[in-house]
Amino acid sequence: MESKNTADQAFVREMNLSSVLRLIFNEAPLSRAQLATKTGLNKSTISSLVEDLLDRQLIHETGINSAGTGRPATLIEINPKAGCIVGVELGVDFVAAVVTDFMGSILWRKQVGADPAAAQEKTLDQTLALVQEALVACRDVNLPILGLGLATPGTVDLNDGVLIFAPNLHWHNIPLRKIFSEPTGLKVFVENDANAAAVAEHLFGTARRLKDFIFVFAGIGLGGGLFLNGQLYRGKNGYAGEIGHSPFAMADSLLTPCHCGNRGCWETYANQYSIIQRVHARLEVKRSSVIPALMAEQNAPLSISLIKLAADSGDQEAIDSFAEAGAAMGRGFAGLVNIFNPEKVIMGGPLSVAGDYLLPSLKQTVSKHSLPEIVQEVEVGLSAFGRDASLIGAAAIVVDDVLANPTLVERR
Ligand SMILES: [Zn+2]
């Protein structure tokens, strides 16, 4: 019995440590008295928990609050130098790595192009080389490493850290945790890119303190991070949020094939490729546009950045192509709004660079196709991190684990 009681006490203490740490993370600077009021725990318990977190260097004292009539109180906040984190995003056509502090500020970053047609081994070797560079950067900033987070497209087995299936990479069953923990000795977390981005938005971005929001990662595919009732919604097997593969079109449109093997998925009408296709179709009917001249000048194929450049110069074909894709995005967003009644829907990832051109038609479509009483409460906007949403997300999942399990922190 006694050992069970001890285990219960340890569990309660870990829960209390975590909730105090999260409170400080979300609302600092706070005094011990404020922490006691907000948690309902007594002052001596709070003092002991705060001491523990101070010893672990996860928080620090930051000056005195002498405002008001009460006794001046020492304020507490998160220690950004609690450690550094390596975040890695496996994109479809790039690999990026970042080193952040405990508050998500970027200390170092690097991105390299990756060939989607290349062998898995090649891309994984490229990624590992990038991680080794990030580890050197961590040593340069002289902070212990709290862990390595990997954000990947596709479905992920969180417990084993295995990428189950990424349609746009054509990758199956890749044991990413094993591949990255063995050579680095780090604690490795693997998460779906949109889920990781949702965690970043919640911890560091535009969804701080929101309990219900949806993150849409828009790029080569469309992925969803469903943050519901204060946490990520994962579904039975952890694969929830594959919104891009919602069956979208009927009849003729069924002809649009998707990388998942199906036809007519939502993302095929609203992803990067769909925008490029829209522009191609317009150019084929010889509409007047600066795009062919830009392609010749840059000696480059049609890309989102080139179409964005054309739109910035006032090119109507570019602007209209974005607007059409924005409307196609909006139909899917409207579905999400009607189903989940979120406070906010946030778009991030590569396509968010064209947010100014996508959002007007997107929002208009959401208004048109969502129920009035739901849509009037919802905000649709861009991620605080733009195309880096999942990269910062990769670091955020490590921070989130520290917040959840402060006594299990490993520093390397
Ligand atoms: Zn699909």
Task: Return the pLDDT at 281.
Answer: 93
Query: Residues 80, 105: contact at Cβ < 8 Å?
Result: yes
Q: Compute the distance from residue 56 Cα to the ligand 1 centre, in Å.
A: 45
| Mean predicted confidence (pLDDT) in 258-273 | 89
The domain ranges of the chain are 2-78, 82-202+395-408, 206-383
Say if residue 267's pLDDT is above 60. Answer: yes
Tokens of 307: 């179409």
Contacts of 317 by beta carbon, 8 Å cutoff, 6+ apart = 279, 282, 283, 287, 288, 289, 291, 310
Beta carbons within 10 angstroms of residue 333's beta carbon: 27
Say if residue 68's pLDDT is above 70. Answer: no
Say if residue 309's pLDDT is above 60. Answer: yes
Say if residue 1's pLDDT is above 60. Answer: no
HEC string for the chain: CHHHHHHHHHHHHHHHHHHHHHHHHHHCCEEHHHHHHHHCCCHHHHHHHHHHHHHCCCEEEEEEECCCCCCCEEEEEECHHHCEEEEEEECCCEEEEEEECCCCCEEEEEEEECCCCCCHHHHHHHHHHHHHHHHHHHHHHCCCEEEEEEEECCEEECCCCEEEEECCCCEEEECHHHHHHHHHCCCEEEEEHHHHHHHHHHHHCCCCCCCCEEEEEECCCEEEEEEECCEECCCCCCCCCCHHHCECCCHHHHHCECCCCCECECHHHHCHHHHHHHHHHHHHCCCCCCHHHHHHHHCCCCCHHHHHHHHHCCCHHHHHHHHHHHHHHHHHHHHHHHHHCCCEEEEECHHHHHHHHHHHHHHHHHHHHCCHHHHCCCEEEECCCHHHHHHHHHHHHHHHHHHHCHHHCCCC
Task: Return the pLDDT at 173.
Answer: 95
* Stronger pLDDT, 255 or 206, i.e. the higher one: 206
Task: Return the pLDDT at 42.
Answer: 94
Domains 82-202+395-408 and 206-383 share a fold: yes
How confident is the model over 181-219, as pLDDT tens digits? 999 999 999 999 999 999 999 999 999 989 999 999 999
Could you tell me which of 286, 372, 382 has the C-alpha nearest to residue 326? 382
How confident is the model over 160-169, as pLDDT tens digits? 999 999 888 8
Q: Bridge-partner residues for 218, per DSSP?
A: 222
Query: Residues 138, 87: contact at Cβ < 8 Å?
Result: no
Query: Residues 315, 290: contact at Cβ < 8 Å?
Result: yes
| Mean predicted confidence (pLDDT) in 118-132 | 93
Q: Compute the distance from residue 247 Cα to the ligand 1 centre, in Å.
A: 8
* Topology of the domain covering 206-383: Nucleotidyltransferase; domain 5 (3.30.420)
pTM: 0.92
How confident is the model over 11-57, as pLDDT tens digits? 899 999 999 999 999 999 999 999 999 999 999 999 999 999 999 99
Say if residue 245's pLDDT is above 80. Answer: yes
Say if residue 319's pLDDT is above 80. Answer: yes
Q: Compute the distance from residue 111 Cα to the ligand 1 centre, in Å.
A: 27
Q: Compute the distance from residue 224 Cα to the ligand 1 centre, in Å.
A: 13
Q: Compute the distance from residue 143 Cα to the ligand 1 centre, in Å.
A: 42
Q: Compute the distance from residue 244 Cα to the ligand 1 centre, in Å.
A: 6
Task: Return the pLDDT at 331.
Answer: 94
Confidence grade of residue 69 (pLDDT, cut at 50, 70, 90): low
Say if residue 118's pLDDT is above 90. Answer: no
Confidence grade of residue 335 (pLDDT, cut at 50, 70, 90): very high
Q: Compute the distance from residue 23 Cα to the ligand 1 centre, in Å.
A: 39
| Mean predicted confidence (pLDDT) in 291-300 | 94
Task: Return the pLDDT at 250.
Answer: 67
Residue type, 109: R
CA dist., res. 51 & res. 16, Å (int): 13
Confidence grade of residue 295 (pLDDT, cut at 50, 70, 90): very high
Q: For 82-202+395-408, which CATH class?
A: alpha beta
Task: Return the pLDDT at 355.
Answer: 96
Query: Residues 266, 355: contact at Cβ < 8 Å?
Result: no
Q: How far is CA 119 from CA 107, 124, 162, in A?
A: 31, 9, 18
Tokens of 395: 């670091």
| Mean predicted confidence (pLDDT) in 254-268 | 84
Task: Return the pLDDT at 379.
Answer: 95
Q: Which of 7-16, 125-134, 302-311 has the lowest average pLDDT?
A: 7-16
Say if residue 223's pLDDT is above 90. Answer: yes
CATH architecture of the domain with residue range 2-78: Orthogonal Bundle (1.10)
Task: Return the pLDDT at 374.
Answer: 84
Q: Compute the distance from residue 265 Cα to the ligand 1 centre, in Å.
A: 5
Q: Compute the distance from residue 249 Cα to the ligand 1 centre, in Å.
A: 12
The rounded mean pLDDT for the chain is 92
Query: Residues 153, 192: contact at Cβ < 8 Å?
Result: yes
Confidence grade of residue 302 (pLDDT, cut at 50, 70, 90): very high
Q: Compute the distance from residue 383 Cα to the ligand 1 centre, in Å.
A: 24
Q: Compute the distance from residue 259 Cα to the ligand 1 centre, in Å.
A: 6
